[in-house]
Amino acid sequence: MNSVMNEDLTATGTLVRFALRRDRVKLPIWIGAIGLGMLYAVSALPTVYSTPAERQVRAGLMDSPAAKMMSGPGYGLDNYTLGAMITNEMVLYLAIPAAMMSIFLITRHTRAEEETGRAELIRSTVVGRYAATTAALIVAVIANTGVALLTALAMLSGDLPATDSFAVGAGIGLTGLSFAGIAVVTSQLTEHSRAASSLAMAAVGAAFLLRAIGDVSRPGGNLLSWLSPLAWTQQARPFVDLRWWPLLLSVAVLVVTVAIGYAVSVRRDVGAGLLPPRLGRAEAAPSLSTPFGLAVRQQRAGLIGWAIGLFVFAVPMGSLSDSVIDAVADNPQLGEVFTANGQDPVDAFYSTMALFFALLVGAFAVISVLRLRSEERTGHTEAALATSVARRHWFFAWVGFTTLASAALLMISGVGVGLGAASGAAGPSTIAELAFGTLAFLPAVMVVAGVAAALFGVRPSVSALAWIVVGYAVFFGMFGALLDLPDWIKDLSPFAHTTAAPLADLPVVPLLVLTGLAAGLALVGSTTFRHRDIETT
Amino acid sequence: MPAALEISQLHKSFGQVKALDGLDLSVPTGQVAGFLGPNGAGKSTTIRVLLGLLRADSGDVSVLGKHPWIDAVALHRRLAYVPGDVSLWPNLTGGEAIDLLSRLRGGPDKARKNELLERFELDPTKKGRTYSKGNRQKVALVAALAADVELLVLDEPTSGLDPLMETVFQDCIGEAKKAGRAVLLSSHILAEVEKLCDTVTIIRNGRAVQSGTLAELRHLTRTTITATLDHQPAALAALGGVHDLRYDDSQATLAVTFDVDADEMPAVIRQLGQFGVRTLHSAPPSLEQLFLRQYGDDLVGADS
């Protein structure tokens, strides 16, 4: 790597201020939301689990493979203090948003700028060649420091030991930064910011999967856990037996990825990816004749990526069902805990899996519907509507694609989990049962998509608020039981009304209500879209 | 014959900003209408209203006898549009984008498309994101000109084209006119408007400040006369309608240049004959002069 000269960093300070100015709303929301998540856990958990005995009951629950997969390696389960509880069950779900914030931040200020051509304008002025990437990294450091401080302070407010609190905060912030580094690399590989952030998000998924398998395989996790940046905060064992050095692994990832990113960035042209663009067909295929054909074409690559990602994720998750079956066989008490809810432990495991994948597909659905917004902003919608395409047709082509693609992704996830389960002790019929059981979440996914579509119709500038519904569903779907919340709060999530397994217990009426709600929301979107101005830049 | 396009008293505001403030515009069938105005005058807003992309606040708009908002879909089968700033789908090739737009409109004409691709020297196999501005413009032009429609709506269609391609474009518009199509051409390039357009509307601050045939507009302004004379034309300055009288006696002969109001032309020419005319050159006002004068006057008006 070339040594970085001062000249190469010219104007970095200006670009940092500029980036902070552009992100003055976004970043505080991300940082504040992560901090609030921690504050909420710190203040709510002591009231739900006020005695050590109650906490040990929770620890017993968390000892199951399914719980470990979704939480952590289970340090301190034998003496489940508030700190150990937060580290084991909350940290992962605060580190993932920190990683997402960092990934979007880096791609927004590097690859997206190049893709739109704005970087060209910036680089034509007195700006060093490393300045843009360095400025984005500095902003990432500022943001993740904010995350680290806020989460640590939130823990201090609950009278938790200071050193361990700061270790957790630093761990979450450094996890965010290691994914910022990964995003610096993925931003070099492709010309598209969307592809760059998708690749980095795939790395988050892989990290989650690695530590899930590792943490289930052995108490405290095995080598696979150690390969995952998402695991290192928990591996520092805060509130149990603190060791700082696992956090250094995040620093190492950051240093290595940034070095790679810098080295590649000066060896390529501004605006180009590592792979040169290829020539395409001179004439459009017959399928590219309708708005739906266009929607398919525009999202085909993304859909294939999601399908592969979900499937690769689902098979190993499904194969963990053997551990559940074994654990129940070894420990009949555990079985009782589950069956106390009136559900078979294996069915409970399958339902949790289905919910988990349905939430991911919900995120896909929002991304997919919001393509309507980016098509409009870039002027593509204007070009299409200037031909004889009705607005309703345009709208439902894109929303229709979202519906079909979501259904396919749910099926694929279910088949993946089923294949994983059937590779072990579960029978082959599990595959079909799980495929349709997961598909049962389609109405819930479509409600989320419907919210996005309705917001897009009413006021496109606020359509991204649909993410709040996803965030709500994830938070209360994952922590509703932990926080022992009133039912109506959990029931507000569209995902709370589906039980995937056993298939015979499918709640038909709620699913019909959700379907109706989704259709109503889509209709609101289509009607309002028909009656408003088309926005252009 | 009914007008292909008729706008009267069109108003459109975006929040506090008045984009269109009582605009009148008309394009007769089979004619090419120029639509001129400085940046931000409201040209693109007008065009988006005509396409039913924006809803007018008030005023009457009729395109090919239909309402652009209510009858958008049926109407768009009969018109084609080239935006001022063409944004292509980055992952579709130019050829795919042309085919898609043609098919969405209905009735793609492959032979005509191929002919236009050749004339505009456009490579249809490149991806949208790799085209230069001029080539993106060509993609939109080919898609629009290949369509068998009654009306072409072109928003600064030649921005980014090289002079060679501008000539090709002008030929295409000439052919469209011959085929009986109406064209609304918004442009900054006055020479292009002068060459192509039958009528011109000049818009400023969302309002038409001048409109008519080029001849009519020229009538409103002054012709520049340059003459070589035997005698000092003393009486000329006193004549009504003569402006900016300038002498050049550095040569052996006396040269004089001045502007004449169109109405006063016969009287001035009669007078001029008395001073012994050796050479006479008369230049009709260029559109540029019209344009500048219109804006100059407006600017003065706005400042005072």
Considering only CB atoms, B125 lies closest to which of A282, A288, A533, namely A282
Question: B79 to chain A: nearest residue by CA?
Answer: A387
The answer to whether residue A290 neighbours chain B at the CB level (below 8 Å) is yes
Structure token digits, residue A176: 């965010």
ipTM exceeding cut-off 0.85 for this assembly: no
Q: What is the pLDDT of residues A93-146, one digit of tens each?
A: 999 999 999 999 999 999 888 888 788 888 888 888 889 999 999 999 999 999
Segment (H or E) for B163: helix B163-178
Superfamily of domain B3-212 in the CATH hierarchy: P-loop containing nucleotide triphosphate hydrolases (3.40.50.300)
Q: Please check whether residue A203 lies inside any domain of the structure.
A: yes
Using a pLDDT cut of 70, give the percent of chain A over it. Answer: 95
**What's residue B102's pLDDT?**
93
Residues A142 and A17 in one domain: yes
- Label residue A342 by pLDDT band (50, 70, 90): low
What is the mean pLDDT of the segment spanning A263-276? Answer: 76
- Label residue A243 by pLDDT band (50, 70, 90): very high
For an interface test with B, give the residue of A190, A387, A530 to mutate (most B CBs within 10 A).
Answer: A387
Q: Please check whether residue A49 lies inside any domain of the structure.
A: no
**What's residue B304's pLDDT?**
33
CATH of the domain spanning B222-284, picked from 3.40.630.30, 3.90.1150.10, 3.30.70.120, 3.40.50.1000? 3.30.70.120
Q: What are phi and psi of A308, to 5 degrees?
A: -65, -45
- List B174's β-bridge partners, or say none: none
What is the mean pLDDT of the segment spanning A396-406? Answer: 97
What is the mean pLDDT of the segment spanning A393-406? Answer: 97
Contact at 8 Å (CB) between B90 and A114?
A: no
The answer to whether residue A533 neighbours chain B at the CB level (below 8 Å) is yes
Per the structure, how many domains does chain A have? 2
Residues A248 and A336 in one domain: no
**What's residue B294's pLDDT?**
66
Residues in B 113-132 with any Cβ partner in A closer than 8 A: 124-127, 129-130
Q: Please check whether residue A202 lies inside any domain of the structure.
A: yes
**What's residue A221's pLDDT?**
84
What is the mean pLDDT of the segment spanning A40-59? Answer: 88
Structure token digits, residue A186: 């993925």
Question: A381 to chain B: nearest residue by CA?
Answer: B53
Question: B89 to chain A: nearest residue by CA?
Answer: A380
Neighbours of B40 (CB within 10 A): 13
DSSP B66: B
The answer to whether residue A97 neighbours chain B at the CB level (below 8 Å) is no
**What's residue A332's pLDDT?**
64
The answer to whether residue B85 neighbours chain A at the CB level (below 8 Å) is yes
Q: Please check whether residue A314 lies inside any domain of the structure.
A: yes
Structure token digits, residue B220: 């409103």
Residues A235 and A294 in one domain: no
Cα four-point dihedral sign A46, A47, A52, A56:
negative
Is residue A1's pLDDT more than 50?
Answer: no
Q: What is the pLDDT of residues A194-225, one digit of tens each?
A: 889 989 999 999 999 899 889 988 888 888 89
Is residue A337's pLDDT more than 60?
Answer: no
Is residue A65's pLDDT more than 90?
Answer: no
Q: What is the pLDDT of residues A405-414, one digit of tens each?
A: 999 999 999 9
- Using an 8 Å CB-CB cutoff, list chain B residues near A297: 91-92
Q: Please check whether residue A373 lies inside any domain of the structure.
A: yes
Cα four-point dihedral sign A239, A244, A245, A251:
positive
DSSP A80: -
**What's residue A450's pLDDT?**
97
The answer to whether residue B109 neighbours chain A at the CB level (below 8 Å) is no
State whether A283 and B99 contact (CB < 8 Å). yes
Place of tokens 């555990």: A334
What is the mean pLDDT of the segment spanning B213-220? Answer: 76
Please tell me which residue, A357 or A498, carries the higher pLDDT value. A357
Residue at a domain's end among A273, A303, A318: A273
Q: Please check whether residue A56 lies inside any domain of the structure.
A: no
Is residue A418's pLDDT more than 60?
Answer: yes
The answer to whether residue A390 neighbours chain B at the CB level (below 8 Å) is yes
CA-atom Rg of chain B in angstroms: 23
Residues A525 and A477 in one domain: yes
Residues A188 and A333 in one domain: no
Residues A391 and A494 in one domain: yes
State whether B48 and A282 contact (CB < 8 Å). no
Q: What is the pLDDT of residues A471-528, one digit of tens each?
A: 889 888 777 777 777 888 888 889 888 877 777 778 888 999 999 999 999 999 999 9
The whole-angstrom separation of Cα B81 and Cα A386 is: 7
DSSP string computed for A344-357: -HHHHHHHHHHHHH
| Residue-range domain boundaries for chain B | 3-212, 222-284
What is the mean pLDDT of the segment spanning B70-75? Answer: 92
Q: Which residues span the domain enclosing A262?
A: 1-44+91-273
Residues A223 and A156 in one domain: yes
Residues A323 and A432 in one domain: yes
The whole-angstrom separation of Cα A107 and Cα A119 is: 12
Nearest residue to A63 (alpha-carbon basis) of A80, A40, A46: A80
Helices (H) and strands (E) in chain B, counts: 10, 13
**What's residue A340's pLDDT?**
46
Q: Please check whether residue A85 lies inside any domain of the structure.
A: no
Is residue A314's pLDDT more than 60?
Answer: yes
The answer to whether residue A284 neighbours chain B at the CB level (below 8 Å) is yes
- Using an 8 Å CB-CB cutoff, list chain A residues near B77: 388
Segment (H or E) for B232: none
CA distance A116 to chain B (A): 10
Residues in A 133-152 with any Cβ partner in B closer than 8 A: none
DSSP A535: P
Contact at 8 Å (CB) between B81 and B51?
A: yes
- Using an 8 Å CB-CB cutoff, list chain B residues near A115: 129
Least confident among A45-49, B77-81, B106-110, B252-256: B252-256
State whether B87 and A191 contact (CB < 8 Å). no
Residues A518 and A373 in one domain: yes
What does pTM read for this prediction? 0.82
Please tell me which residue, A475 or B288, carries the higher pLDDT value. A475
